Amino acid sequence: MTPSRMLLLPMLIGAAIASPAWARQTQQAPQASQRLTVAAAIDLAEKQNLDLAAARAKRAVASAGVRIAGERPNPTLSFGAARDTPHETALIDQPLEIGPKRERRIEVARQESALTEADISALERQLRRGVRDAFFGLAHARAVTAQQEGAVKLAERLHDIAKARFDAGDIPQLEVTQAELEAARAQANRQVAQQEEKVALSGLNALLNEAATTDWDLGDPFAALPPPPALEDVLARAGASNAEIARISQEAKIEQSRKALFEAERIPNLGLQFGADFNAPGGLGANTGGYEVGPRGQLSIELPIFSHNQGEISQSIANARALDAALAAARRAVDAKVESAYFELEARETQTQLYRQTILPSSRQLEEMTEESYRAGKANIMTVLGAQRDVRQVERDYLDSLLAVQSAISQLEEAVGAPLD
């Protein structure tokens, strides 16, 4: 082996050993978080959500129903053979629909197709609320994790103060132990918050039909509260776009088209038969019975003596009246839901403003004052621990109020049946 090859061999071996490790590092490199706003999340869900895709597939079923309703009856071909003269007969029987029956059937199918669209729209609104709740639920979980991170830092800082005072002989070992216990509790709460954040992320990705581990950069969606809408505007929009009202209204239109179909079916159909007789040997004569081969035809019509859709029409009229009553009840119920959701939103926004402007700053200031007092030896550790727990609780209540505002917006949007932004 030449000296150059002897030098090359260790390099190749080293490269072969290092390549798998480099490849593993490349595969395990974390993906950068993608920026995601609530509007982008809703758009992505409308494109990729599997439940919505399955519902939209029903449009083809409804379209096929319209084609079925427009089909015309097929003719019937019959052939007969007998020992009598003439021996063979061929007939074609063609039913003929009289009146606007076909147009009425098509109209019923079209109205049923519109009901399918109403159901799809209702599912889209439900998906919008689900995505909003999941989006802000994840933002809330991450804010709680950040808040727990701050609690850990507070607890560790208090432990450092207690340790310094113990080393100086100002406090007993008991206070250091209490500070250690509080730090351990804060770390445990942080771990729980991190796991809850993973659960929230998985729920959002399930709605978006993304991998469970896909990470998103949500920014700070709680930074600014949305402007409140006017009650009169949301009430007016609810009457035109609420999902329940839209469905009942469409069912009423279907019932009207069915009644028109039943009335059209009272016109009897016409049966047209035409054909020919074959094979009558002997022609005309005394022993042939006078039968001749050749074409023949006849007409038939149903006589609507006993049944002419009187029961079906009465039932359709009763259904229409029931739907009118249900629609009136739904309109009143929707108004009540919208008003309730609107006032709930106002209450949550007021609560959030109080926490943001007054309660949260005061609790943080109180915690800082107690910590400084403990550092200076003017307060005991239980006072500081109480102040830290109070500020953590206030911070958690503030985060819950931010989430409650977004939940109230989602509830109001669902009651209205249309986006508020």
Whether the model clears a pTM of 0.85, i.e. scores above it, the answer is no
Residue 307 pLDDT grade (very low, low, confident, very high; cuts 50, 70, 90): confident
Q: To 10 degrees, what angle do helices 101-167 and 360-375 make?
A: 20
Per residue in 159-197, pLDDT (tens digit) is 999 999 999 888 899 999 999 999 999 999 999 999 999
Percent of the chain past pLDDT 70, that is, above it, reads 89
Per residue in 123-159, pLDDT (tens digit) is 999 999 999 999 999 999 999 999 999 999 999 999 9
Per residue in 348-363, pLDDT (tens digit) is 999 999 999 999 999 9
The class of domain 33-74+100-269+309-416 in CATH terms is mainly alpha
The C-alpha atoms of residue 386 and residue 232 are separated, in whole angstroms, by 46
Half-sphere exposure of 38 (CA within 13 A, CB side): 22
Which is more confident, 3 or 59? Answer: 59
Residue 379 has a pLDDT of 87
Query: Domain locations in the chain?
Result: 33-74+100-269+309-416
Which is more confident, 289 or 267? Answer: 267
CA distances from 269 to 41, 69, 101, 272, 300 (A): 56, 17, 10, 10, 9
Residue 285 pLDDT grade (very low, low, confident, very high; cuts 50, 70, 90): very low
H/E run at residue 136: helix 101-167
Residue 2 has a pLDDT of 44
229 burial (CB, 10 Å; 0-12 / 13-18 / 19+) is middle
What's the average model confidence in pLDDT over 287-294?
A: 61
Lowest mean pLDDT among 21-35, 69-83, 105-119: 21-35
Looking up tokens 């929230």 gives 200
Q: In whole angstroms, how large is the CA radius of gyration of the chain?
A: 39
Residue 162 has a pLDDT of 92
Residue 280 pLDDT grade (very low, low, confident, very high; cuts 50, 70, 90): low
Q: Supply the mean pLDDT for the chain.
A: 87
Per residue in 31-82, pLDDT (tens digit) is 567 999 999 999 999 999 999 999 999 999 999 999 999 999 999 999 888 7
Residue 120 has a pLDDT of 95
Per residue in 372-397, pLDDT (tens digit) is 999 888 888 999 999 999 999 999 99
Quick check: helix, strand or coil at residue 409?
helix
